[in-house]
């Protein structure tokens, strides 16, 4: 069978959004984790989407349609949906996972906020304004941030 015939056969059996997402991912030879890294979501989200357990958020739908080079309507409804060729660049390479910082709030006004760096295991007491700057810088850098409250 030629690629066009295979693609046509695959496209005709994609009845749900989840089936379309999975068909694209598997035809590209990507793992759920690779797609998750490319879309900047967690792997569980990809799994839930593919099984039609949850629908991607609005921003995730926009990212999926851009990645798949198709319209939102085509992706969502399946009308004129075609499994695209893989992107010309490979998915984001797996790198060592960068762990987020965790910040817990002080017990009293005089206690510092403890900022724990999960990459190197260090912790430092910081005043509220310093801790807020760590949060802001981490978010701007695209890092995940955990806020732990007792």
Structural domain ending residue among the three candidates 17, 45, 77: 77
Say if CB 36 and CB 46 are below 8 A apart: yes
Q: In CATH, what number is assigned to the domain containing residue 61?
A: 1.10.260.40
Dmax over CA atoms of the chain, in Å, equals 72
**Beta carbons of 101 and 141 less than 8 angstroms apart:** no
In a domain? residue 110: yes
Considering the domain boundaries, does residue 91 fall inside one?
no
Q: In terms of residue numbers, what domain contains 133?
A: 101-148
Location of structure tokens 């802001």:
136
Q: 48: closest CA among 63, 66, 65, 35? A: 35
Q: Does residue 126 form part of some domain?
A: yes
pLDDT in tens, the chain (150 residues): 444 444 444 555 789 999 999 999 999 999 999 999 888 889 999 999 999 999 998 888 888 988 998 888 999 999 889 999 888 755 555 444 444 443 344 445 556 677 766 666 666 777 777 777 777 787 777 777 666 654
Query: Is residue 92 included in any domain, yes or no?
Result: no
Whether 20 and 71 map to the same domain: the answer is yes
Structural domain includes residue 83: no
Q: In the listed set 62, 77, 92, which residue is the last one of a domain according to the structure?
A: 77
Gap between the Cα atoms of 118 and 112, Å rounded: 18
Judge if 70 and 13 occupy the same domain.
yes
Whether pTM > 0.75 for this model: the answer is no
Whole-number pLDDT of residue 147: 66
Task: Output the six-digit token pair for 137.
Answer: 């810088």
Q: How many domains does the chain have?
A: 2
Whether residues 108 and 55 share a domain: the answer is no
Same domain, 10 and 67: yes
Q: What is the pLDDT of residue 139?
A: 76
Backbone angles phi, psi at 116, to 5 degrees: -110, 125
Clarify whether residues 7 and 71 are in a common domain: yes
Residue 100: DSSP 8-state: P
Q: Give the per-residue pLDDT at 83.
A: 92
């Amino acid at each position: 069978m030629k690629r066009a015939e295979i693609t046509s056969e695959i496209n005709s059996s994609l009845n749900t959004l989840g089936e379309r997402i999975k068909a694209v991912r598997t035809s590209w030879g990507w793992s759920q984790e690779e797609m998750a890294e490319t879309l900047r979501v967690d792997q569980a989200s990809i799994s839930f989407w593919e099984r039609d357990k949850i629908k991607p958020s609005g921003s995730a739908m926009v990212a999926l349609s851009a990645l798949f080079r198709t319209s939102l309507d085509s992706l969502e409804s399946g009308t004129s949906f075609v499994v695209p060729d893989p992107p010309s660049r490979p998915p984001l390479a797996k790198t060592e996972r960068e762990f987020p910082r965790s910040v817990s709030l002080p017990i009293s006004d005089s206690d510092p906020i403890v900022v724990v760096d999960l990459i190197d295991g260090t912790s430092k007491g910081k005043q509220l304004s310093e801790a807020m700057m760590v949060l802001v810088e981490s978010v701007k850098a695209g890092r995940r941030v955990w806020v732990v409250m007792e």
